[in-house]
Amino acid sequence: MKDIKVLGPGCKRCEAAEAMVKDAASRLGIDVKIDKVTDYAEIAKFGIASTPGIVIDGKVVHAGGLPKAEALEKWLRA
């Protein structure tokens, strides 16, 4: 199971990023546990200045804007 954190204050882009992660994981048949991190101090610990951010298994894979679907699938498969 992949441990995923979606970092952001809860804006529309952050919600969209979370939905993209869920959809991609479902398409690929990958079990994921998604945590939403909305606390700015916690987000800062990941070194992210622009949200939304995506962290997979402790590694920051994306920050700022929405990721491309192909990239998201690649990160989930890794």
Walking along the chain (78 residues) 10 residues at a time, the average pLDDT comes out as 96 96 97 96 94 97 96 96
Domain count, the chain: 1
Bridge partners of residue 34, in order along the sequence: 4
Does the global pTM surpass 0.85?
yes
Domain extent for 22: 2-77
Confidence at residue 77, expressed as pLDDT on a 0 to 100 scale: 95
- CATH no. for residue 13? 3.40.30.10
Measured CA to CA in angstroms, residue 13 lies from 29, 54, 60, 63, 78 at distances of: 24, 12, 17, 11, 24
Closest CA to 1 of 67, 56, 71, 63: 56
State the DSSP string of 3-24.
EEEEESSS-HHHHHHHHHHHHH
Burial class (CB in 10 A: 0-12, 13-18, 19+), 59: exposed
